[in-house]
Amino acid sequence: MQRHTREDFQTPRQVARKILKFQRRPRDCATRGATRRDAGDARARRSLRGVGRANERANKRETTRETTRETRRRGDDRRGDDRQRMATVEPETKRLKTEDGEKENVALNTGNVGKARVKSLMYRYYKQFYPADLLFKWLAHGNDERHARAEKTYPSRREFCFVLDKEQEEGGGEIFARYQSFVDAKDFKTNVERKKPARIEFGPICNRRPSDRHTVELKPEERELVFDIDMTDYDDVRTCCKEAGICGKCWPLMTVALKVLDVGLREDFGFKHLLWVYSGRRGIHCWISDERARKLSDEARSAVAEYFAVVKGEGQGRRVLSSTPMHPSVKRAYDGVLKQYWIESYLPTQRILEDETKLEQLLNLIPDENIREDLASEFATSSLNSVDRWGVIERRVQDSLKKNNYKLTGALEKIILWHIYPRVDIEVSRHMNHLLKGPFCVHPKTGRVCVPMDPATADSFNPELVPTVVDLDSGAQTLDGAIKTFNDTFWNACARENIERLTAKTRQAKAEQQSGMEF
């Protein structure tokens, strides 16, 4: 079995502490810096060779990518990320078509929102509704305050990427205008209105303003820790939809992922400031804004993401990396969320055991050939539904376990984990300079706003009820609820802590001054 970061004899908190220790390595040592960069590049190369949806997507993007000569010459840290990311161009100077072939078939009820209609209303949305002030304030993490201890240059060192839709123009497509930076919220808002992006992505806080990249070596210094979970990674366990499609039957897979990760990140890693966001179509994002999370090195980010990578691989190669007995964090997810969801919702709605391919896929996870064959022939002529079939499988495995067939130990639990444990796209979490679409953007295909989600009421979140640009424009819906969720579940506590942090810095400076005077 592949070795990974879970260790059976440590509590989740101990493992988390171990992971977070990465960040205490010296950061400013030149030799170490070089090693870390090399390691980063090697990882990027490995990740390109590896399997996974992120890499497939990356490869697709690779075909559209135009590396500027200048980037190659500088050979900076960002290279690795650039390789696996997306088409990059100098701001507003070059353009290229994206081949990021997102499919048109959105099964979700998108009302009457056509692509053209979304496009025509998009710019008005960013001018009238997009909460630029609030988002910029969050991304400044208190450093926009008029406070003696605020880092005044911090807000302007954040990289933004404006994705500009130039489809209508000759040679058009999407332009990824990277390295945008703004001195304050007003500057950000003005530029959003002027440049009319179709999408706004947030990058890291750099050592210098991203616009200075021609004269200094730009290095990412900190960034929120992010998670991305996408429904397309669940295609082999859905019978209702595939690819970009989602419906009420499969959306709960996302809810389950949110619940499992939310508890794990809070309880095992002690993170407090988690912003969950609907990605506008078929997935969810999480932005972790604790100072400790923002300052994690790439190595530590990878380790945190790997901690949740209990299920790894693709298709038939997908494996559950869970030990027996289960790691406490996996057991908590299993007992608290997964077991109940499997029986009460997943099996009755997805009916995977009545689907020939998915039944075979599930039976293949039973590590005993005789039982597999018996069950396959029994189900070939059975009219039982999926819940009852699962009951048959359970009984058969448990009976065999009673006869000391130890290879079946933990098999039932692993089958459940294989199907419904969160499938995190860990490539997104690994690097602090990975750009990610920010909250409150509009998805160009669905017209829906990427609204924040409240983990406490995740069960009742319905993507079909998320405001679209058409709803907002006509006044049928407002963003009030979404802004309230942002404030109540996330920002209010963050803002309080920002002020506390600044006050603590002042107190510390005074104490240091005083102790200096005593000598």
- Footprint of Zn ion on this chain (CB under 5 A)? 240-241, 247, 249-250
How many other CB atoms are found less than 10 A from the CB of residue 139? 22
Q: 82 Cβ partners below 8 Å, 6+ apart?
A: 65, 67, 71, 88
Q: 221 Cβ partners below 8 Å, 6+ apart?
A: 157, 204, 205, 206, 207
Helices 386-402 and 369-380, packing angle to 10 deg: 150
497 is written with which tokens?
């802590």
Query: Is-contact 53 45, C-beta < 8 A?
Result: no
Q: Which of 132, 102, 130, 127 shows the shortest CA–CA distance to 115?
A: 102
Q: Parallel, antiparallel, or unpaired for β 274-278 and 452-453?
A: antiparallel
Q: Which residues are marked as active site?
A: 159, 228, 230
Can you tell me the distance from the alpha carbon of 511 to that of 438, in angstroms, rounded to the nearest whole number?
A: 39
In three-state secondary structure terms, 236 is helix
7 is written with which tokens?
């260790």
Residue keyed to tokens 């099996």: 347
92 is written with which tokens?
């507003």
Can you tell me the distance from the alpha carbon of 268 to that of 271, in angstroms, rounded to the nearest whole number?
A: 8
The sign one gets for the Cα dihedral 419, 421, 424, 426 is negative
Nearer to Zn ion, 240 or 401 (CB): 240
Question: Which H or E run contains 205?
Answer: strand 199-206
Question: Which H or E run contains 320?
Answer: strand 319-320
Can you tell me the distance from the alpha carbon of 353 to that of 105, in angstroms, rounded to the nearest whole number?
A: 26
Beta bridge partner(s), residue 205: 158, 222
Can you tell me the distance from the alpha carbon of 175 to that of 198, in angstroms, rounded to the nearest whole number?
A: 10
DSSP string spanning 149-215?
Answer: TS-TTTGGGEEEEEEEE-TTSTT-SEEEEEEE--SSHHHHHHHHHHH--SEEEEEEEESS-GGGTTT
